[in-house]
Structure 1
Amino acid sequence: MSGWYGLLPPPKAPEVLRGRQKADWLIIGAGFAGLAAARRLSQLVPGDRIVVVDAQRVGWGAAGRNSGFMIDLPHELAGENYGGSQNHDRKRIRMNRAAIEFSAAAADEYGLQAFFVRAGKFHGAASDHGLGVLREFETHLTGLGEPFERLDGPQLKEITGSDFFIGGTFTPGTVMAQPAGFIRGVAEGLSSRVQLFENSPVISMRTGKLHTVKTAEGEITAPQLILTVNGHLESFGFFKKRLLHVFTYASMTRPLSKSEQAALGGEPHWGLISADPMGSTIRHTGDRIVVRNTFTYNPDMSTSEKQIKRIGAVHDQSFRARFPMLGDMPMEFRWGGHLCLSLNSAAAFGEVEDRVFVAGCCNGLGTVQGTLYGMLAADIAAGSDEPMVGDALNQPAPSRLYPEPLMSIGAPLKLWAMQRRAGKEL
């Protein structure tokens, strides 16, 4: 269980898909992409029956396991300073901000402001290497005409309570979400217009004039199908040997006592991303702190308690380095989350078969790019004239992975080298 899910009250009993049913639109996957697609369809074709099917409970899977940053700016995890080319990044910023505004409208409509806060984000540097990366990032932002604020170590200590950081950069456009709370709230908000079946994993799919999807206890047919299952697009037979499956990990403290909060100091709510893309992400959410770091290559799309425990020890070390005043703070939650990447940082998007549409491979930005490609999948499927559809379709498809054994050997080595480069930032 992720900490974000664990902080929420237990959900009501799930509705499981049973018997034979029909729908006008079927969406598989109830994460950020799937629910964005469902909400957009409810706006475009309000009289149609829209059904969403998920293998788990909403918010339990990857949608509720990320760090909760909905980032508007360039954020290339595979790069050295988050940026790409200026033309590419200008388009990406415009599209990311459209997704954030779509989510903001949902937060307003469904009363989810507690789970969706326009707080901005900090990048923190703990080393000269990190400061150098931030200067490159700031230069890139200047070229893009994007605002930022440069901070020194004492300024960051006023915010975080930690003297670990020697400098930082603040950018104002990021939304800080409680991801499990937000996505569960969106599902609840859509419940009067969209039918959701949970705990209903798909066991077979047949496409044709009518697409037929079977689960353990039911079957549903629909003429229009949207797959929003991110890396599990491979499980449905699409983008084989093109998707790179990576896990990252997080730990969340137990609630801090009032004396511990006083010893820490700083502000009670903030989110900080490392200057180096492979470094630690830290969030302070009132009386808890979350630390997220370490990436592993998991081509079978699963992790293990043993792997989470081993990486949890890295989290504890990173936590103590930043917050020595809190001693050996117990962690109440530890978890892993599945990311899907492509070698060329391209999304899996578009119509892959007749009336079968996909939105996935979010390259580590599932909150914002999942939302973006989910809503655009609905636009393209419904024949909307949304101009961003053309922008998305003009992007390259995920490139083929290297043949084995190059992937099994090379991917872990690449991740190890990138994390070693992060040094103290980890």
Structure 2
Amino acid sequence: MSVHKAVRTPADMPVSGWYAVLPPPPKAQVLRGRYMADWVIVGAGFAGLAAARRLSQLVPNDRIAVVDAQRVGWGAAGRNSGFMIDLPHELGGENYGGSRDHDLKQIQMNRAAIEFSASAAEEFGLEPYFVRAGKIHGAATDHGLRSLREFESHLVGLAEDFRSLDAADMKGITGTDFFIGGTFTPGTVMAQPAGFIRGLAGGLAERVKIFENSPATLIETGAEHRVQTPEGEIVAPRLILTVNGHLESFGFFKRRLLHIFTYASMTRPLSNSEQASLGGERHWGLIPADPMGSTIRRIGDRIVVRNTFTYNPSMTTSEGQVEKIGHKHDRSFNARFPMLNGAGMEYRWGGHLCLSLNSAPAFGEIEDRVYVAGCCNGLGTVKGTLYGMLIADLAVGTEEPLVADALREPSPSTLYPKPLMAVGAPLRLWAVQRRAGREL
């Protein structure tokens, strides 16, 4: 038997705008007492619910239980920008791309995850939260424009479709003349992340038991695995951990996971006159030419700005940190939308990302019948879905070929010593964000 006591549990705050604009959820079912299952999944984000859905397809007569520390959609799954990206998206790169062979495989895997999510959206009526809208890469500087042309050249080599946009095109879409050019790619899905993940949980509830507000405080692994929560426990012979960076909270992948937070602000609803002043299209999503720049989404009468990365090895942020970074969002917003200077931000929030130094996932069987799917390297919507569905295939023992592809990926490499990380990680983040310049 192996015992893993949680040194911390998720405690995300304040509420994300994505979650706040949804109707109130039904009352949470909290785990109380002992529950016996065939499978227990810890974490009800994109990876956990993808694993649960895939298991319900592969072993429909098995008892599947999921526990989450918070309400479904409250945590990291409902705090991202909602881009489900099919193409290469390497946050650490100059223009997102990598080697051709690696990128071709990543495209295949990302699209498998998108199609899995698309089938869930159709099955559970989640189409309003899952729109195949494509994405724009927007450039605000000549340097950014050169990066986009390099990206487009890479896409030509991958035989991928795209459309170059000039300044007039960008203004026609966004309503602002801030951007001097762009690249449109059609394969990205624009999700309302909290709405999609809550809807997915609701759709699965008929065949999967989902316990909320039930943080796993202790895990014992052995012939029967036991997951303990403050008021109950689940006992099952098979355990899947889909808690992303919180794998380290249980002692797994220690000194291998890099805990980064990013931040977003959402406007109040824009008035009809403000929307008329802005012009442009009502729904679009834009990622910056420089990966460290500002991501912008317009969803009808609201605009979301996301930028700034911080190194938070405690896996928490604070209201003060969120508020301080919110001032950066205001500057970025006002630079792009001077005609909307009176539009205030109604919601501000931070979200936890888990990265590794070598951009590798935490995936596979780490103890007998104990499986992990995490460390999504800033791409939780698509990579979480991918590794969640594939970990179910691995655990059941199917012949899914993408499982072998996932297992061939390296494991997260060891971090530098703590003193170096404490100084070097924030310095590195400062440098790459400074490089972004006007793109930020």
User: CA separation in 2, counterparts of 1:114 and 1:21?
Assistant: 35
**Runs ≥4 in structure 1, deviation > 4 angstroms?**
none
Aligned equivalents of 1:403, 1:140: Cα separation in 2: 36
Could you state the TM-score of these two structures normalised by the residue count of structure 2?
0.96
Residue type of the alignment partner of 1:105: S
1:376 aligns with 2:411: no
For residue 328 of structure 1, report the CA deviation from its aligned partner. Answer: 3.1
Q: Which residue of 2 aligns with 1:238?
A: 252
What is the TM-score of this pair, normalised by structure 1?
1.00
Matched, 1:348 2:398: no
In structure 1, distance between residues paired with 2:147 and 2:435: 12
User: What is the aligned partner in structure 1 of residue 311 from structure 2?
Assistant: 297
The Cα shift of 1:219 comes to: 1.1
| 2-structure distance, mates of 1:328, 1:244 | 38
Give, in whole Å, the separation in 1 of the partners of 2:299 and 2:50: 26
Aligned equivalents of 2:363, 2:253: Cα separation in 1: 10
SS at match of 1:320: helix
Aligned to 2:331: 317
Instruction: Please state whether the residue corresponding to 1:405 is helix, strand or coil.
Output: helix
1:277 Cα deviation from its structure 2 partner: 0.1
Distance 2:49 2:192 in 1: 16
After superposition, where does 1:107-186 map in structure 2 within 5 Å? 107-186=121-200
The C-alpha deviation readout for 1:357-404, integer Å capped at 9, x for no partner, is: 000000000000000000000000011110000000011000000112
- State the distance in 1 between where 2:158 and 2:430 align: 31
After TM superposition, the structure 1 = structure 2 runs for residues 83-98 of structure 1, keeping only pairs within 5 Å, are 83-98=97-112
Q: Take 2:413 and 2:44, find their aligned partners in 1: how far apart are those partners? A: 26
2:148 and 2:163 map into 1 onto residues whose CA distance is 11
Q: Percent identical across equivalent pairs?
A: 76
Q: Which amino acid aligns with 1:304?
A: S
- Asked if 1:217 is matched to 2:236, the reply is no
Q: Which amino acid aligns with 1:217?
A: E
Amino acid at match of 2:390: L
1:149-174 deviation line (CA, Å, top 9, x unaligned):
00001110000001000000000000
Provide Cα deviations, 1:302-347, integer angstroms capped at 9, x if missing partner: 0001110110000000000000001132100000000000000000
For 2:383 and 2:234, how far apart are their aligned partners in 1? 28
Of the candidates 210, 214, 229, which is equivalent to residue 196 of structure 1?
210
Residues 24-69 of structure 1: per-residue CA shift (max 9 Å, x gap):
0000000000000000000000000000000000000000000000
Q: Distance in 1 between matches of 2:320 and 2:147?
A: 33
Which amino acid in the other structure matches residue 51 of structure 2? A
Contact kept? 1:272, 1:282, Cα under 8 Å:
yes
Query: Match for 1:256 among 270, 293, 308?
Result: 270
Structure 2 counterpart SS, 1:292: strand
Do residues 424 (structure 1) and 438 (structure 2) align?
Answer: yes
Q: Deviations for 1:118-174, whole angstroms, at most 9, x for unmatched residues?
A: 000000000011111111111111111111100001110000001000000000000
The question of 1:359 aligning with 2:359 is answered no
1:41 aligns with 2:55: yes
| Partner in structure 2 of residue 54 of structure 1 | 68
Q: Structure 1, unaligned stretches of length 5 or more?
A: none
Could you tell me whether the CA contact under 8 Å between 1:202 and 1:214 is conserved in 2? yes
Residue 399 of structure 1: aligned partner: 413
Deviation at 1:187, TM superposition (A): 0.2
- Map 1:61-100; keep pairs closer than 5 Å: 61-100=75-114
Amino acid at match of 1:98: A
Q: Are 1:320 and 1:328, in contact at CA under 8 Å, matched by a contact in 2?
A: no
Q: Secondary structure at the match of 2:418?
A: coil
Q: 1:206 aligns with which of 201, 210, 220?
A: 220
AA paired with 1:234? E
Q: Tell whether the 8 Å contact from 1:69 to 1:176 is kept in structure 2 after alignment.
A: yes
User: How far 1:203 sits from its partner (Å)?
Assistant: 1.0
Tell me the distance in 1 between the aligned counterparts of 2:277 and 2:384: 38
8 Å CA contact 1:297–1:411 kept in 2: the answer is yes
The aligned amino acid for 2:215 is P
Aligned residues: 426
Mean alpha-carbon deviation: is it higher for 346-355 or for 128-137? 128-137
